[in-house]
Structure 1
Amino acid sequence: MKKFTVARLLVCSTFFVPASAIAQDGFSLELEAGTIYDSQLVVDEIDVEQAEGDVAFRFGADVEYQPVDTDSFELEFGYDFGQSVYLDFDEFNLQSHVADVNASTRIGGARVGARYAFSHFRLGGDGLFDMHTVTPSVSGFVADGLFARAFYTYNDKDFATLDGRDATGNQVGASLFKFFADNAGFVSISGRWEDEDTVDPQFDYSGFVVGADLRVPIAGGRDGPRLQFGVDYRDRDYDSITPSIGEIRTEDRFRGDVELTVPISERFSVEVGYRYTDRNSNLPSADYTENRLNAGILFEL
């Protein structure tokens, strides 16, 4: 019940903002269409994998509306849709719907905010799980060109059929960004601790994730082509014996990716990327290496 109360508070807070603060043009739209080749089809949330490659078409839309945007208060509503369609293994077709509301205010030199999101995922045309997420955060510049953010996240997952995987989770994390090239590029480091408590004890875990990203403008500053590199390492410790292997599950994962974005007009951009994943586990369905290539076009309004 508390998570719905938070959402109502964020929405109702609009009525306490003067009418002069209401934005005249607060809409933004982003559309994406592309192709993916994946050497290993996986659904991490339910430990399902297919050790064969396939090609998928990817479609996405992201709509945001910011009715209030002032120095003292910001309010934003968003909706994000994603759909992958595989040529051969349609049971891995993943559809996502995420609706969220973000509110923030400035206290001194820091931005204090909260986000509520409701997510609905479908796999192979059937419902997979729903998730409610609440994330308070604090962020701000701590030095010239140096931006920091800290957050706490609570989530509640409700699976359509796999009731044993229903879970509540907690995460605490922080990230640090150093901007350069007139803020067109940055280097960042991040980390978070996470814990998930599931109905079936075999899926309970705690762990951490650490990562780093680098964005390099190639030419033209913020509006020109850019390269982005990312790496992260994840480690999880499970609490109970997994019956299928007769022992406590162990797992770690390394992932690296690179993406090139090339604007071709004021509204259109082309994106090409590669991702490598090495996941190590004593659970066979969670032990794999993956190579993923993607290419697509992005429209922004």
Structure 2
Amino acid sequence: MKLFFEKMTCIVALTTSSLASATPQSSFKVNGEVGAGLISNSALSVDELDDVSSQSDSGYEFNGVVKGKWHVTDKTKLSSSYAYNKKSYNEFSQYDLALHQLNIDGSYKFNSSEIGVRVDGASASVAGKTFLNYQQVSLYFGYFVQPETYVRTSVKLKNKSFAELSDRDASGFGATLDVFHFMNGANTMLMLGLSAEKEEGQDSQFDYLGLGIHTKITHKFSLFGLDSKVGFGLRFQNKDYQSVEVETFPAGQDIGNRDENRQVIEASWDLHLLDNLSVMTELQHGDFKSQLESQTYQQTIARVGLKYTF
């Protein structure tokens, strides 16, 4: 599986590179952003490790993103980005998280449609120690069903490996369908998405079928002469696990499965103080339910910070 992802990365890179060399009028742009702020978390957790704490803490968060976009021709585009996120807590440093993300995307436009291939890679660490590596390849197709409505579908193959918990190593596949509708001169966006995924682990107790629905609305406006953007989103996800070995989890939880339901509400507000400088605020509340008591909890995360774009 890992070899497959490596080959796909090479194919995308080599194909777009050869197209670029044959197109002297191609254009290339680089931009990015950096941000820093404060974070408050009511229930510290590491989801991929099923590590949920009843402890709350606050700290700081740092973000950085660099993006490159290469218009090889009028219809062919190659883009890539690298993102870094770090959360550091004041008291419980064992929940300090860092995430590196890298992606390459090659696409081709025809008529009102677009088809493309995207390769994603990620590495996550907790308390300064890498615990997870993740790769994903996506094939997507998008088209405007009308000038204000865009539909995008994708199929995905993914692979994840853990540094120490090899039983959790897994591969899987999934599909998504997203609909975007724009109003008010594209200042207002409505989005509705559906997703399905199947994951198979080295240990069958981590096999699951997941179904999800997510929706979001964003609106851009001017407040006291300053550009603003507000957003509100909902996410629902159900994971149907095939089996569970009770001894893997805390004693006293006598159950035969660990199906999960997740509901997350998000609200955000971005206020541009200057052309390149903005204040970011976000509030997120999640209600996580499982037949495992240790995985049933509520979590509220609040963020406020500054972001600079270039």
TM range (shorter): over 0.9
Q: How far apart, in 2, do the equivalents of 1:174 and 1:37 lie?
A: 33
1:212-291 alignment, distance < 5 Å = 212-219=215-222, 224-244=227-247, 245=253, 246-291=255-300
Partner of 1:193: 196
Of the three residues 80, 85, 92, the one matched with 2:83 is 80
Q: How far apart, in 1, do the equivalents of 2:232 and 2:160 lie?
A: 31
Q: How does the TM-score come out when normalised to structure 1?
A: 0.95
- Give the conservation status (yes or no) of the 8 Å contact 1:208–1:235: yes
Instruction: Give the letter aligned to residue 166 of structure 1.
Output: D
Residue 12 in 1 paired to residue 14 in 2?
yes
SS at match of 1:4: helix
Instruction: Give the letter aligned to residue 285 of structure 2.
Output: Y
- Give the conservation status (yes or no) of the 8 Å contact 1:44–1:286: no
- Give the conservation status (yes or no) of the 8 Å contact 2:19–2:72: no
Q: How many residues align?
A: 298
Of the three residues 106, 116, 121, the one matched with 2:124 is 121
Q: Unaligned stretches of 5+ in structure 1?
A: none
Partner of 2:250: none
Q: How far apart, in 2, do the equivalents of 1:71 and 1:139 lie?
A: 17
Sequence identity (%): 21
Partner of 2:154: 151
Residue 67 in 1 paired to residue 76 in 2?
no
Q: How far apart, in 2, do the equivalents of 1:21 and 1:139 lie?
A: 26
Instruction: Report the more deviating stretch, 68-77 or 27-36.
Output: 68-77
Once the 2 structures are TM-superposed, how far is the Cα of residue 285 of structure 1 from its aligned partner?
2.5
Instruction: Give the letter aligned to residue 4 of structure 2.
Output: K
Q: How far apart, in 1, do the equivalents of 2:59 and 2:184 lie?
A: 36
Of the three residues 129, 132, 135, the one matched with 2:135 is 132
SS at match of 2:243: strand
Q: How far apart, in 2, do the equivalents of 1:179 and 1:120 lie?
A: 34
Output one character per residue of 1:40-96: Cα deviation in whole Å (capped at 9) or x when no partner: 111111110110110021101100112335431000121111111010111111111
1:23-102 alignment, distance < 5 Å = 23-24=27-28, 26-102=29-105
Output one character per residue of 1:208-258: Cα deviation in whole Å (capped at 9) or x when no partner: 0101101122327xx820110000111111001332334111210111010
Q: How far apart, in 2, do the equivalents of 1:98 and 1:86 lie?
A: 21
Q: How far apart, in 2, do the equivalents of 1:263 and 1:209 lie?
A: 33
Instruction: Give the letter aligned to residue 299 of structure 1.
Output: Y
SS at match of 1:71: coil
Q: How does the TM-score come out when normalised to structure 2?
A: 0.93
Output one character per residue of 1:259-297: Cα deviation in whole Å (capped at 9) or x when no partner: 011001010111111101000012123110011111011
Instruction: Give the letter aligned to residue 23 of structure 1.
Output: S
Partner of 1:298: 307
SS at match of 1:225: strand
- State the Cα RMSD in Å: 1.4
Q: How far apart, in 2, do the equivalents of 1:181 and 1:32 lie?
A: 29
Q: How far apart, in 2, do the equivalents of 1:21 and 1:275 lie?
A: 45
Partner of 2:4: 2
- Give the conservation status (yes or no) of the 8 Å contact 1:261–1:271: yes
Partner of 1:175: 178
Q: How far apart, in 1, do the equivalents of 2:158 and 2:146 lie?
A: 32
Instruction: Give the letter aligned to residue 200 of structure 2.
Output: D
Instruction: Report the more deviating stretch, 131-140 or 235-244.
Output: 235-244
Q: Which runs of 4+ in 1 moved over 3 A?
A: none
Q: How far apart, in 2, do the equivalents of 1:66 and 1:216 lie?
A: 26
Output one character per residue of 1:97-134: Cα deviation in whole Å (capped at 9) or x when no partner: 11111100013321001111121111111111111110
Q: How far apart, in 1, do the equivalents of 2:294 and 2:190 lie?
A: 34
